[in-house]
Chains A and B, each alone.
Chain A
Amino acid sequence: MRSPSPLRAAFRQALGEAWAGGAGVLLPIGFFAGAAMLVPFTVGSEASQLSSIGTGILWVALALASLVSMERVFQADLEDGVLELWAQEETPLFLVAAAKIIAHWLVSGLPLVLLTPPIGIALQVDPGALVPAMLAYGLGGLAFFLWGGVAGALAASVARGGLLISLLALPLFVPTAIFGALATIEGPGGPSLLFLSATTLFALSIAPFAASAALRLAVD
């Protein structure tokens, strides 16, 4: 294994790019908060009703918000010609893809997790459960971003591929959504959190390879 400095550089470039537009941070946050805040208006503001569906609403909003800025993550690299430079390096492309997805998650995904308690309170979720639930939202969000990254790589060469990304990624979200929703209801002691972690580890082990295979096709 060569020195990891090429990867650090890839990570740094991806962070810089996510910040550069500004939209990388603010757009998913706005979407997340907006989608969750619509719910009381549509199902009614009855406290008991809201609190029973509140954690589930947060999962749906998190899943959708994780895809908001995914379209540009790899497409921009393809259009700029940066991808063809990476594809000719000795550094394995799957590591570069992983670095890019994780950087994107740090900038666009982690703020969503930090936002779950205030939005949860607005949805009448039990405040005591909100802070432990952040672990589950964090793990689940990472899995969402990893699968979203695969979809983003597959759609990189497609103009206006945003919808395609959703169609490709949402089915892959199902196991994470199931165990994530159970884990937030059970609390941190339950078995579902372990299953949720397993789905995230699965995504972590598959997604970088799948994304890099898709990028090789895109760059050809």
Chain B
Amino acid sequence: MAENAAMMHEFLIKAAGLGAIRGERVLFSDLSLEVKAGEALVLRGANGAGKSTLLRMLGGLSRPDAGAVERPVRHHWIGHRNGLKPHETPRAHLTHWGRVWGSNANAREIAGQMGIERPFDVAGRLLSAGQKRRTAIARLLLADRPLWLLDEPFSALDTQGKALVTALIDKHRASGGAVIAALHGEAPFEATGEVQL
């Protein structure tokens, strides 16, 4: 299992001396972090402080303007955009990414777990913001990947949805996974570290 493989690594992600420049402004500099199995790191900061930028660097989407990221394990990405196409139903979305990741998971079961069984065959453009978010988060359950990078995972979710995602994060950490999440407000899970930007 991937989770056991995660246990064998000393860390799941490590960044040293990271720096980001936007235009003429330094967003952050000399930022270092390390996340081990079971940990949860919360990224905090005002709008525009660079939370998403940092997360994109950690995921390998943006090249750091300084420093380097080391990521020995595979990761899941829940960005600020959901990755759901307007014509795509939750069924098509989960089946598609299941194929990409060679997953044997049952898309309908996962949809049931995320409470999107009812709109399972409804096109993305007709879903509510919360249902779209739940569909994106359901990707986390398709394949076992030790590291989760989450950008505002609770946005658009109702109370029940928040509780669901919190439970997922707790379970993931208990089985040796780790989470890095950019958040506004209180973290509903117990964070082991915090980066203030």
CB of A9 within 8 A of CB of B61, answer no
How far, in angstroms, from A85 to B75 measured CA to CA in the complex?
A: 11
Tell me, rounded to whole Å, the shortest Cβ–Cβ distance linking A14 to chain B.
11
How far, in angstroms, from A12 to B99 measured CA to CA in the complex?
A: 10
Give the secondary structure class of B's interface.
Answer: loop
Residues of B within 8 A of A79 (CB): 81
Nearest first, the 10 closest Cβ-Cβ pairs linking A and B are A81-B81, A9-B99, A20-B87, A81-B83, A6-B100, A9-B100, A85-B83, A220-B62, A82-B83, A81-B79
How far, in angstroms, from A12 to B56 measured CA to CA in the complex?
A: 27
CB of B75 within 8 A of CB of A8, answer no
Residues of B within 8 A of A8 (CB): 99
Tell me, rounded to whole Å, the shortest Cβ–Cβ distance linking A135 to chain B.
34
- Does residue A89 face the partner (Cβ distance < 8 Å to B)? yes
Residue from B75, B96, B102 in contact with A88 in the complex, judged by beta carbons closer than 8 Å: B75
Tell me, rounded to whole Å, the shortest Cβ–Cβ distance linking A47 to chain B.
46
How far, in angstroms, from A20 to B84 measured CA to CA in the complex?
A: 14
A interface vs B, CB < 8 Å? 3, 5-6, 8-10, 12-13, 16-17, 20-21, 76, 79-82, 84-85, 87-91, 219-220
Residues of A within 8 A of B96 (CB): 9, 12-13
Residues of B within 8 A of A81 (CB): 79-84
CB of A82 within 8 A of CB of B61, answer no
CB of B85 within 8 A of CB of A220, answer no
Q: In this complex, what residue of B is CB-closest to A17?
A: B85
What is the size, in residues, of chain B's interface with A at 8 Å between Cβ atoms? 26
Interface string of B43-84 (1 = CB under 8 A from A): 000000000000010011111000000000011010111111
A–B complex contacts, Cβ < 8 Å, 20 sampled = A3-B102, A10-B100, A13-B85, A16-B92, A20-B87, A79-B81, A80-B86, A81-B80, A81-B84, A82-B83, A82-B85, A84-B59, A84-B79, A85-B77, A88-B61, A89-B100, A90-B74, A91-B100, A220-B61, A220-B63
Q: In this complex, what residue of B is CB-closest to A7?
A: B100
Residue from B61, B80, B81, B88 in contact with A87 in the complex, judged by beta carbons closer than 8 Å: B61
Residues of A within 8 A of B87 (CB): 16-17, 20-21
CB of B81 within 8 A of CB of A80, answer yes
Residues of B within 8 A of A89 (CB): 100
Residues of A within 8 A of B61 (CB): 84, 87-88, 219-220
CB of A5 within 8 A of CB of B100, answer yes
Residues of B within 8 A of A10 (CB): 100
Residues of A within 8 A of B99 (CB): 5-6, 8-9, 12
